[in-house]
Chain A
Amino acid sequence: MDNSLNERKNNRRKFLRVSFLTGLSAVAAKTVFADIPIDPEKETGEMVTLLSPDGQLVKVAKEKINYMEKYISPEASRKGIPHRKFVMVIDLAKCKNARKCVENCQKAHHLPPHQEFMKVYLMQESEEAAPYWMPKPCFHCDKPLCVSVCPVGATYKRSDGIVLIDNERCIGCKFCMTGCPYSARQFNWADSPFLHVDQPYSPETSVPGKEGTVSKCDFCPDMIRDGKMPHCVSACPMGVIYFGDQLEDIVTNGEETIRFSELIAARSGYRHLEDLGTKPSVYYLPPVNRQFPVDRGFDHEDEINQRYKDVPYVKKMHKN
């Protein structure tokens, strides 16, 4: 660090070689120091509330992200991150339908309230079987039927295992949606304010969405390139979702870092509907030795709880 601030300090105290980091890069630091508009009324962009050192809540413009700096064009997004094969492990024993994964994903991908790339299902295999919460992203299958059936190559499987959609190529025929047995894909049925985001489009961010095209969970490759985990992983308060690279055999939920193969072996990991042969990249750990009773997942407004009314467990609950 050799900015002027440090130089002055070094001159004053030569016996100390102070290296000064603010946790931000020099460029970012400059913007923080120089560009924060104190007068919020003049700012039309998105604002965030922060606490100033004198204890005042101030509204400042959201940090401008230089999208072009990290921009991955639709063409470039067809190649995967080299020497990686991403994998997700979802621990059903820990999920209590807190929906933080859903909400953070929606926020990050600018999705309207009802559109969810990550969905939480209440699963119950049969009347007598135990119900459990099942977060379900796109499975990024190794034999992706959605990719096979696409007539224009708008959806593709990358070398890092991620299946993406280029919504500048997609013609909106919806064949991939019938091809996917996991209902992972959604159609942008109408134009909405959510589709108008001032940001260059990249299949890696899936933002902004486009009317008349298909979209789905993208495993957040933009975050991965940044060394960060997908939004659903970092958002989960229970550490339900593990994410990592299958080739280096390491997955993490942010708190705990485990070897993927050991985790799957120790906890009998499985893939949903394995017999369909789609080879998903998402594994589940069975809901045994649960940390929460299933009822904890109903701590939501009616609109959400209503979704599960057809599950035998819920039907029975309503009867009693």
Chain B
Amino acid sequence: MESNKRKQELLKEFLPQLEKTSIVWYAWVAFLFAAIFLGIYCLVLQILKGHIITGMRDNVVWGVYIVNFIFFMGISYAGALVSGSMHLFKTSWRGPILRIAELTTIIALFIGPLYILLCIGRLDRLPFLFMYPRIQSPITWDVIAITTDLFGCLIYLYLSFIRDFALLRDSGDTKLPKWRINIYKVLAIGYHDTPTQRKRIKNVTNIMSAMIIAIAIIVYSVLAWIFSVTLQPGWHSTIFGPYFVIAAVFSGAGVIIILMRVFRSVYHLEKYITKQHFVGVGMILMILSMFFAYFTFSEYLTKWYGSKKLDDNLIQILFTQYFWQFVFSNYVGTLLPIIIMGIPRFRTINTITFAAIVAVLALWMNRYLIVVPTLETPYMPIQDTRPEWMLYKATWIEWCLTFGGVGTFCLLFTLAAKFVPIIPVSEVADAELEMSAELAKGQDNHEATVTNSLKKQIVHKKEANEL
């Protein structure tokens, strides 16, 4: 029962986040709603006037929308991979950032597919995807994969929430309205932290975390195959599957760092999300940026070294018309995280966040450079006089819908953080307990090796509690 006490204590600490809403919070939500409504307005315009109001034309048939689709799906899979593997490999410091990763997964997974819908000319015929499916089409694979992934992530997320729902239900004297308590009660499905229930949850969570990793890899490869099964010179590549997976985790790790930084300041979580967490995820970011750089290099080196005319055209256009974008996305975006993380002196919370922001933007640009220049250099030369038919330029409609999507992401995150503690209380409390048990066991010979601040903190806190 010691753990329960500690959990309630922790919960008390986070409850104000769920109970109180400041004016700033309302202003922020209002701002997000404005962005979303602008997006909805643009969507209505697009439906009424047709795709002619976007920058997409017969050569560049997909533009910023599909870039956003890849981007958000990438973030989602990254969240799944990071949280899944942290759970599976029992990373000691995972506790405080696990929920951020899980929420990233599910929220991005809701937004990503919306962008593929924006590419579709006749939204009224969406049911056809289920009425007349052709399983030879990578889009059908994607429909199946995303649905499967969505279900898996929802189950996984729910599993990690149950214990906190139970805590919220049992918290007693909260200022939370009755209806919210009732929702928590329903969602907690009678979890009382009995040994059997606890064992079951642990067991299922382990299975699901392994599952999530596998699905994330398959699903993101499927997304890559949408491009690589075509004969387009910039897309028809065998390494696209792993390349996309790596790019996804890279960008996702970046987004998690940014969110960690945001919640750390807004919710004053300095005690929980420490520099150690930033360095930890930052290391993942660095390793992935190395992998990503390796894949990118390998992809473009072979195209550049070979003499195929169309590959050459693509490389030409990338190094002339898209030179700065190319430099930013593939040099700055990969080198900056490596430099900042590689040299210990540069590692601060703010520099790591900066590296993460640059990496995320660079990754978005990388996807743009995969999609657009390829479509601008087709097999048949583009012989047209209308510039908008030859080169793609996103219109304000597309940008507004892009920001609308980012706004929806932020809004859903804001609301989710209002509904459940952003720090998984049960998880953190359990981790503390395990840690202290371990500590007690080997206090004499392990003391010297206990260096990380979290452990120190826990010991300190425990002592304080005992007093």
Chain A interface (Cβ < 8 Å from any Cβ of B): 114, 119, 121-123, 136, 145, 148-154, 169-175, 177-179, 181-183, 185-191, 210-214, 273, 276, 278, 303-304, 306-308, 310-311
Contacts and interface: CB of A to CB of B under 8 A. Distances in A.
Contacts of A186: 58
A190 B50 contact: yes
A211 B121 CA distance: 8
Contacts of B385: 303-304, 306-307
B371 to A, nearest CB: 9
A181 B139 contact: no
Contacts of B382: 183
24 contacts: A121-B383, A122-B383, A123-B381, A145-B231, A148-B229, A149-B137, A152-B125, A171-B126, A173-B120, A173-B139, A178-B230, A178-B232, A179-B229, A179-B230, A186-B58, A189-B51, A189-B52, A189-B56, A211-B50, A212-B121, A213-B122, A273-B379, A307-B383, A308-B383
B61 A171 contact: no
Contact of B137 (A122, A150, A182, A308): A150
B384 interface: yes
A110 to B, nearest CB: 17
Interface in B120-151: 120-122, 125-126, 128-129, 131-134, 136-140, 143
B226 A183 contact: no
B121 A307 contact: no
Closest 10 CB pairs of A and B: A172-B121, A212-B121, A190-B52, A151-B139, A190-B50, A151-B137, A174-B61, A189-B52, A212-B122, A307-B383
A172 B61 CA distance: 10
Which of B56, B134, B136 gathers the greatest number of chain A CB atoms within 10 Å?
B134
Contacts of B266: none
Contacts of A151: 129, 133-134, 137, 139-140, 143
Contacts of A182: 379-380
B379 A149 contact: no
B175 to A, nearest CB: 49
Nearest to A172: B121
A104 B436 CA distance: 84
Given A171-B125, A175-B139, A187-B51, 7 more contacts: A122-B383, A171-B129, A173-B139, A181-B232, A187-B58, A190-B50, A212-B122
B386 interface: yes
Contacts of B120: 171-173
Interface string B371-390: 00001001111111110010
Interface residues of B, number: 46
A179 B134 CA distance: 15
Contacts of A276: 231, 379
Contacts of A311: 381, 383
A121 B128 contact: no
B129 A152 contact: yes
A119 B122 contact: no
B119 interface: yes
B415 to A, nearest CB: 31
Interface of B: 49-52, 56-59, 61-62, 116, 119-122, 125-126, 128-129, 131-134, 136-140, 143, 226, 229-232, 235, 375, 378-386, 389
Main secondary structure of the interface of B (DSSP, over half): loop
Given A170-B122, A183-B379, A189 B229 contact: no
A185 B59 CA distance: 9
Given A178-B375, A212-B51, A183 B380 contact: yes
Nearest to B49: A190
Contact of A189 (B50, B133, B139): B50
Contacts of B61: 174, 177-178, 187
Contact of A307 (B133, B137, B375, B384): B384
Contacts of B229: 148-149, 179
A173 B58 CA distance: 12
Contacts of A306: 385
A278 B230 CA distance: 12
Contacts of B235: 178
Contacts of B132: 152-153, 169
A149 B230 contact: yes
Contact of A173 (B50, B119, B136, B384): B119
A238 to B, nearest CB: 20
Contacts of B389: 114
Nearest to B374: A178
Nearest to A305: B385
Which of B61, B121, B131, B138 gathers the greatest number of chain A CB atoms within 10 Å?
B121
Contacts of A145: 230-231
Nearest to A156: B134
Given A211-B50, A212-B122, A213-B122, A181 B137 contact: no
B138 A149 contact: yes
Nearest to B142: A151
Contacts of A304: 385
A68 B244 CA distance: 51
A311 B380 CA distance: 12
A215 to B, nearest CB: 11
Contacts of A308: 383
A177 B56 CA distance: 12
A276 B308 CA distance: 13
Given A148-B136, A151-B129, A174 B379 contact: no
A119 B59 CA distance: 14
A119 B378 CA distance: 15
A149 B235 CA distance: 15
Nearest to B375: A178
Contact of A171 (B128, B136, B379): B128
B51 A149 contact: no
Contacts of A210: 122
Contacts of A212: 50-51, 121-122
Contacts of B126: 171
Contacts of B56: 189
Nearest to A168: B125
Contacts of A170: 121-122, 125
A16 to B, nearest CB: 61
Nearest to B310: A181
A150 B134 contact: yes
A212 B117 CA distance: 13
Which of A171, A177, A278, A303 gathers the greatest number of chain B CB atoms within 10 Å?
A171
A208 B326 CA distance: 43
A307 B120 CA distance: 29
A178 B128 CA distance: 20
Which of A122, A136, A185, A190 gathers the greatest number of chain B CB atoms within 10 Å?
A190
